[in-house]
Amino acid sequence: MIIARSIDELRQALSASQRPAFVPTMGNLHAGHIKLVELAKPQGDCTVVSIFVNRLQFLPHEDFDSYPRTWEADCAKLQAAGCDVVFAPRETDLYPEAQTVKVHADPALGDILEGEFRPGFFTGVSTVVMKLFMSVFAGKAQGVAVFGKKDYQQLMVIRQMVRQFALPITVLGVDTCRAEDGLALSSRNGYLSERERAEALQLSLALRALGRDALAAADALASHLPALEAKAMTALSQRGWQTDYLTVRRRNDLQAPQAGDALVVLGAAKLGTTRLIDNFDI
Ligand code: PAF
């Protein structure tokens, strides 16, 4: 397994590859990341995983400094999963000067939900993903990039960026990996105390309950939805969560749904100091 620390080293490592298969990550790899790598592997002729904690997508009060960095363990897991190249640029290599040229997501998609509660988040994500894509795929006829569906809105933003910039990249979305009790795997789960870890499942239970309520009200969804969402948020808040949103949206653009639309239920809430997100198609 080659470790590339700069864009030049990465391009050198990929010089013989026609069709890289790429998994972007911020490290602290868990079983969900490894599943992405395993699914990526047969899609290309060289499997590349990036590990880069991207400052641009964190707000000043968020956990950029404390985000878990577990380099040795990550490399061991990637080696075992058959990764060919790890791209772990230093910050000064990916951003040698202030990144003043940025990619902004369509506000209709990027300024709602996660974008409303984490302003600038999707600009940070789109900018680094574009830069990672250019580092991995420049000069390649085709490539594949693999993302988890736990970050549902992120996957939609990336798909739209790839489509609108006509990048020669196929984007694959992979189902969320869950712990035995159903908690979505996330690097941030490591912040939870034992008591919080037991409670954390309540976010997905609240989303499933909201999903059931929405399906039961499907005939007059638009009129019932605000009350159903408010009920779900109140129930979670009463358990001590700080709830950003629990909502049912149209699956293809995350706008408010009408009867007959394919639906997704999404949520984000803070338990103590840990912010968790989850979603389900319903
Ligand atoms: O999902 C993540 O881990 C990050 O947002 C990503 C896509 C690696 C960009 O920093």
The β-bridge relationship of strands 143-148 and 169-174 is parallel
- Say what the pLDDT of residue 8 is: 97
Name all residues whose Cβ lies below 6 A of ligand 1.
24-26, 54, 57, 125, 128-129, 151, 154
- Say what the pLDDT of residue 219 is: 87
Residue 145 three-state SS: strand
CATH class of 2-174: alpha beta
How confident is residue 258, by pLDDT bands cut at 50, 70 and 90? confident
Round to whole Å and give the CA distance between 8 and 13: 9
- Tens digit of each residue's pLDDT (9 = 90 or more) over 98-113: 999 999 999 999 999 9
Round to whole Å and give the CA distance between 174 and 155: 10
Given a contact cutoff of 8 angstroms between Cβ atoms, the answer to whether 244 and 117 are in contact is yes
Find, among 152, 106, 112, the residue nearest to 255 by Cα.
112
- The catalytic position among 33, 61, 104, 224 is 33
Mutate to test the pocket of ligand 1, among 149, 151, 152 (most ligand atoms within 8 A of CB): 151
CATH fold for the domain made of 187-281: Pantoate--beta-alanine Ligase; Chain: A,domain 2 (3.30.1300)
Whether 33 is catalytic: yes
Sequence ranges of the binding site for ATP = 26-33, 148-151, 185-188
Q: Give the distance (Å) from ligand 1 centre to CA of residue 57.
A: 9
Round to whole Å and give the CA distance between 71 and 52: 10
How confident is residue 13, by pLDDT bands cut at 50, 70 and 90? very high
Domains 2-174 and 187-281 share a fold: no
- Say what the pLDDT of residue 259 is: 84
> Which amino acid residue places its CA nearest to atom 3 of ligand 1?
25
Mutate to test the pocket of ligand 1, among 36, 53, 54 (most ligand atoms within 8 A of CB): 54
- Tens digit of each residue's pLDDT (9 = 90 or more) over 189-217: 999 999 999 999 999 999 999 999 999 99
How confident is residue 251, by pLDDT bands cut at 50, 70 and 90? very high
Q: Which atom of ligand 1 is nearest to the CA of 187?
A: 3
CB half-sphere exposure, 48, CA atoms < 13 A:
33
- Tens digit of each residue's pLDDT (9 = 90 or more) over 76-98: 999 999 999 999 999 999 999 99
The chain-wide mean pLDDT, for the chain, equals: 97
Round to whole Å and give the CA distance between 7 and 230: 47
Domain ranges, ordered by start, for the chain: 2-174, 187-281
Q: Is residue 162 predicted with pLDDT exceeding 90? A: yes
H or E element, residue 144: strand 143-148
- Say what the pLDDT of residue 112 is: 98
Q: C-alpha distances in angstroms, 199 versus 1, 132, 176, 264, 280?
A: 39, 36, 19, 23, 19
Section 67-75 average pLDDT: 97
